[in-house]
Amino acid sequence: MDPRMAFELSKRFQNAKDLSFKRKLEIIVGDFLKTELPYFDVCISNTPYQISSPLVFKLLEHRPIFRVAVLMFQKEFGLRLCARPGSKLWSRLSVNVQLYSKVSHLMNVGKANFRPPPLVESCVVKLEPLNPPPNIAFNEFDGLTRICFNRRNKTIRASFFASTATLNMLEANWKTWRSQQQSDSAIVTDQEEGENFSAKLETILQESGYSDSRSAKMDVDDFLSLLACFHKHGIHFA
């Protein structure tokens, strides 16, 4: 908690007559991102805007899963959290957060509600984690969406073939996976050994049905299906 807020709360409640209430209040002064969070059911935050993204993902990683969070963010960031496929604000942030939670826009908060007024508009959103969460490794899903949203209005095929670095990374991951299969006594055929990776990637994209799709219009389930198709062929993103 911000030291100034901690001081105000301490001053407000130090003379509280309800002792049972005082016993339930614990004020922790420190860096939220570096603090080990205790159990909680509800989180309410006027979020420091510069840590909006890491704060959201720290909350979503927290276990046990909380019930709801009501959070204030810079308006553009909050609307990106709530964005839907096909909208201008649908982004990697949107799909990554909505993989693990239901996000709702509650209200906008104008500059005039703050003293001194900030330079940006704000909004309040509600975050409800999915329980149970999907059994997906986040770094795998994030690796996929990082590639796809690098060119959100281009086809998925174009996103994957746009960068030699991306192709090299995926091929290296595939070869690592393949060597692990060999060590587990799996048989790698001569055809697999000499297979051209670009051709393999082209085949996988066609098989997935998403080769000509665009990230800007794909929803969470679409990305999960695409990821599953890559995993089926031993291609990983982390």
Q: Break the chain into its structural domains and give their ranges.
A: 31-129, 138-232
Residues, the chain: 238
User: Per-residue confidence at 8, pLDDT binned at 50, 70, 90?
Assistant: confident
Query: For 48-71, what is the mean pLDDT?
Result: 97
Look-up of token digits 């984690």: 129
Checking if the pLDDT of 56 tops 50, the result is yes
Q: Using a pLDDT cut of 90, give the percent of the chain over it.
A: 75
Query: Would you say 1 is a known binding-site residue?
Result: yes
Distances (CA, A) of 14 to 11, 30, 179: 6, 20, 63
- Six token digits for residue 234: 């031993």
Query: Would you say 173 is a known binding-site residue?
Result: no
Contact 233, 204 (CB under 8 A): yes
Q: Give the per-residue pLDDT at 190.
A: 41
Classify domain 31-129 by CATH architecture: 3-Layer(aba) Sandwich (3.40)
* pTM: predicted TM-score of the whole model, two decimal places: 0.88
* C-alpha neighbours within 13 Å on the C-beta side of residue 4: 0
Is 1.10.8.480 the CATH number for 138-232?
yes
Q: What does the pLDDT look like over 138-168, one tens digit per residue?
A: 999 999 999 999 999 999 999 999 999 999 9
Give the DSSP letter of residue 193.
H
Query: For 118-144, what is the mean pLDDT?
Result: 96
